[in-house]
A and B are shown apart, each in its own frame.
Chain A
Amino acid sequence: MNVLEVSDLRKHFPIRKGFLRRVVGHVRAVDGVSFHIRKGETLALVGESGCGKTTVSRCILRALAPTSGAIRFQVNGVVVDLATLSKRELKRYRRHMQMVFQDPFSSLNPRMGIADIIGEPLLVNGMRSAEERRQRVGELLDMVQLPRAYRSRFPHAFSGGQRQRIGIARALALNPSLIVADEPVSALDVSVQAQILNLMLDLQDRLSLTYLFVAHDLSVVKHISDRVAVMYVGRIVEIAGTQSLYEAPKHPYTEALLSAVPKPDPRIRADRVILEREVADPANPPPGCHFHPRCRYAQERCRVEAPPLQEIEPNRWVSCHRARELSLRGVR
């Protein structure tokens, strides 16, 4: 069962210039992205800054209105298209999708106590009884392994890792069908990252949660996701199961990305695939495959014809003309 089905999602931001603020072009931040997330799984959306991964997650939460495309979201057996719902209709569905933010310092109101921060979504969604809320906040604190006694404290009294637990408790308050976590551990120290990742895995097992995990760190992603979608300049270049994507990437960009990650073992200072030049400008992407100017396998066809995202093996989608013939290097 798919909790979420995104098809051909586009989000273009106008570039305005001059006195009349005329539109002179568009930044194609998201340019035709399709994927689905099954119930109880984690799909990771990875890519470098500017690739559009955060824009995708914001469109799903309707923090941004998509330019076109469909975002089908299934709640209690009913499928709705989040891309076209009006603001008022959206309200009914917002409680079913929650967000965990990157920065645990700016995402908690410093003037609110922990019980109020976690209890606010309950109150807003109609849990009027203070006693009921108190009960539920206690359960949520247990779930994220924080002592119940902390409920009256304020955010400043907590470390980064503890604040992220509070953020997770708040996201869980309404039993959401989908949790969108945008870089939830990248602001944390390494020893604390592990604690939060383990907690997210635990909660997923216990509550059969569904995560969309947006991140740039491929090591972190490997520890949490069932499937991975790699984005480059507004498009998905490859989607596959975590194991097969890391072991045997099929898109040259995935290969380069995996190769660039420093491996924590000095004995394998491997010869890396070092990408030349810089990421393409999404306002003015190169013709054909967006990756071709940096791709060492590029051929004439890649310069003129954009490759579609094709299913080359079961559950494996790649957008590369040469996906079937290339033998690329993965990790381990």
Chain B
Amino acid sequence: MPPTPTVESAVRARADNTPILSVRELKTHFHLTEGIVRAVDGVSFDVRPGRTLGIVGESGCGKSITARSILGIVDKPGRIEAGEIWLKGSAEDPTAPPVDLAALAPSSPQMRAIRGKEIALIFQEPMSSFSHYYTVGNQIMEAIREHSDATKDEAHARAIELLRTVGVPQPERRVDEYPFQLSGGLRQRVMIAMALACDPRVLIADEPTTALDVTTQAQILDLLRSLQEQRGLALILITHDMGVIAEMADDVVVMYLGRAVEKGPVDDIFHAPKHPYTRALLRSIPSIMAEPRTKLATLGGSIPHPFNRPAGCPFHPRCPEFIAGVCETAMPPVLPDGEAREVSCFLYGGRP
């Protein structure tokens, strides 16, 4: 059975501020007959224990593919083209040398040992990620037994324990129910229980609350936060919702068309955004704090089709601060800004 985390281990994990997962210049492309879709095109970030990294962007920005690349579950014909994904140590041996997940074959034994055990994933739509033919207990037990020598009884007991941890009422009864018998909120809790089955160090939540109602969303976000606190989890939260980012994230990566256009601590991103896309996005989101019936600032145009990727900076056709002769000719470099921030825009230097 996986070790249950103690308070000390959680505290230790949090005190240790070195990244547990480092993604460097990740490129994941899809080779189609019509051309190449550069879903992720040079993204770098660090994930630290006990902290939440929010990855935010609109549809097609590559945020989900980034998550799938980390776990080696990119669907064909996509593949990791370049870049590195370093996972530090392992749960048993924190001093073990780091592993480059990008270099591991997706179906290799090493990758299979990491997927689910070290890094777990929560999907957006819990209904489509469960099997309809097995009870939720069976599905959690499968995850436990995949990575440990627990007997069926031990795994069953642990499944009930996990359901209790994530706040499923009457776990002894729910463990034998099928996914379709549960409400959306409960299914998402079970999904989280399954992800926690092997006590992972990194949890990736891909739009974990998008399909849920606001009051259920508040419950699930609260649960994720308290689990993170108890276990010192490194959380990667992927969402399109700036509100969820503001509530949950410590650090933020803003993505647009496969690129990280801006990175930084959450307060800076919301109160001193630098990249024109981040600024436009923040101005254009409907806010509950706005005056009634006020018009929103809009971002002109729409996200280009993946095959018609603009040359140069991918945002230049929609950018209000477009510099003619510069932005459409070259890709802006990633410019460090202070200690923890990066922005990729010619307004801040790096002109060719």
Contacts and interface: CB of A to CB of B under 8 A. Distances in A.
A217 B289 contact: no
A208 B35 CA distance: 48
A190 B242 CA distance: 9
B293 A194 contact: no
A198 interface: yes
Given A48-B214, A216-B214, A219-B286, A261 B296 contact: no
Contact residues on A (Cβ < 8 Å of other chain), bracket: 35 or more
Interface in A145-191: 159-162, 189-191
Most-contacted residue by chain A among B267, B284, B287, B293 (CB, 10 A): B293
Contacts of A220: 286
Contacts of A190: 58, 240-242, 281, 284-286
Contacts of B170: none
B105 interface: no
A260 B302 contact: no
Interface stretch (A13-21, A25-33, A123-131, A266-274): A266-274
A324 B296 CA distance: 35
B292 A48 contact: no
A222 interface: yes
Interface in B83-104: none
Given A218-B214, A260-B217, A332 B246 contact: no
A278 interface: yes
A263 interface: yes
A274 B298 contact: no
Nearest to B289: A332
A191 B270 contact: no
Contacts of A222: 286-288, 290, 292
Interface in B51-80: 58-59
Given A263-B247, A263-B289, A192 B213 contact: no
B298 A263 contact: no
A195 B298 CA distance: 6
B350 to A, nearest CB: 25
Given A189-B59, A218-B214, A219-B243, A264 B285 contact: yes
Contacts of A279: 213
A201 interface: yes
Most-contacted residue by chain A among B214, B217, B221 (CB, 10 A): B214
B285 A218 contact: no
A78 to B, nearest CB: 30
Contacts of A257: 214-215
Given A191-B280, A216-B214, A223-B296, A261 B243 contact: yes
Interface string B228-247: 00000000000011111011
Contacts of A225: 292-293
5 contacts: A223-B290, A223-B296, A269-B247, A274-B218, A278-B186
Interface of B: 58-59, 169, 183-186, 213-219, 221-222, 240-244, 246-247, 249, 266-267, 270-271, 280-282, 284-299, 302-303
